[in-house]
A and B are shown apart, each in its own frame.
Chain A
């Protein structure tokens, strides 16, 4: 029987349980590339990004089983996890790191930026490149779908900035 909580990557703190269980070696390779795109320069990872990876790990462990919410939620998908890790890796240093990371009952990882005045902006990573977003930014309540393929779209960057962290 496989362990519920598998090995934790020393550099990122992200569990590789799902990857260790995967039968296909290319998934393992892809995962390694995503969590540490530049291994020679690992010490340059900013602390906020390390914290994000810890939150991703916690969410993945908490939400990796069927029915993790008690209401029939799907396990967090590997595709959504990879996409989220890639997003964190791509996050420019001038942008704040997410305040919180969680999961939706459909198995998507979510990231949230929240300021003390209650402004909030959140994204949900489908794992297919489609990113759903919504926010409560004062009188503005932006919502929609964007696409994270190679780089973070400009509209998402602007909305993260508008939280005012």
Chain B
């Protein structure tokens, strides 16, 4: 669903700005993580969303949640990327369609970060 809202959880202060927005680096794919992970958050309360960040996304990472960036699936499609759902965990999807060229991916990540709305995680 293009109008589905998604969240990218952030586990490092290096990707959070002082105003709570999330840096473009948070959307970058890498050799080890070529399909950046997001969660579909439609119909969830704020508390539910943060719970996913802490308990579902955060557990395997072994790191503390710092914040998140919210955007829509259509925003991903607009930069010529798309989402692929994974069987587990529920609501989990990955951003796919990245280029082999790093500069291209930086450009797309910048557009995603620019359109997203960032939030600090307040414990």
Tell me if chain B binds chain A. Answer: yes
> Contact residues of A with B, CB < 8 Å?
58-59, 62-63, 67-74, 100, 102-106, 110, 112, 118, 120, 122, 124, 132-136, 141, 143-145
Whether B13 lies near A62 (C-beta < 8 A) is: yes
Known: A71-B37, A105-B30, A112-B23. 17 other contacts (CB 8 A): A63-B14, A69-B12, A70-B12, A71-B36, A73-B33, A102-B25, A105-B25, A105-B29, A106-B31, A118-B114, A124-B102, A132-B106, A133-B103, A135-B107, A136-B111, A143-B103, A145-B103
Whether A132 lies near B103 (C-beta < 8 A) is: yes
Q: Total contacts A to B, CB within 8 angstroms?
A: 99
B107 surroundings in chain A (CB, below 8 A)? 134-136, 141, 143
Q: Is B63 at the interface (CB under 8 A from chain A)?
A: yes
Q: Give the complex CA separation of A102 and B22 in angstroms.
A: 12
Q: Is B93 at the interface (CB under 8 A from chain A)?
A: no
By size class, the interface of chain B is 20 to 34
Contact with A along B9-37 (1 / 0, CB 8 A): 10111110100000111101111110011
Given contacts A73-B32, A104-B28, A106-B31, contact A68 B106 (CB under 8 A): no
Whether A68 lies near B14 (C-beta < 8 A) is: yes
Whether A124 lies near B11 (C-beta < 8 A) is: no
Whether B14 lies near A62 (C-beta < 8 A) is: yes
Whether B14 lies near A105 (C-beta < 8 A) is: no
B102 surroundings in chain A (CB, below 8 A)? 106, 124, 132, 145
Whether B114 lies near A143 (C-beta < 8 A) is: no
Whether A122 lies near B63 (C-beta < 8 A) is: no
B31 surroundings in chain A (CB, below 8 A)? 106
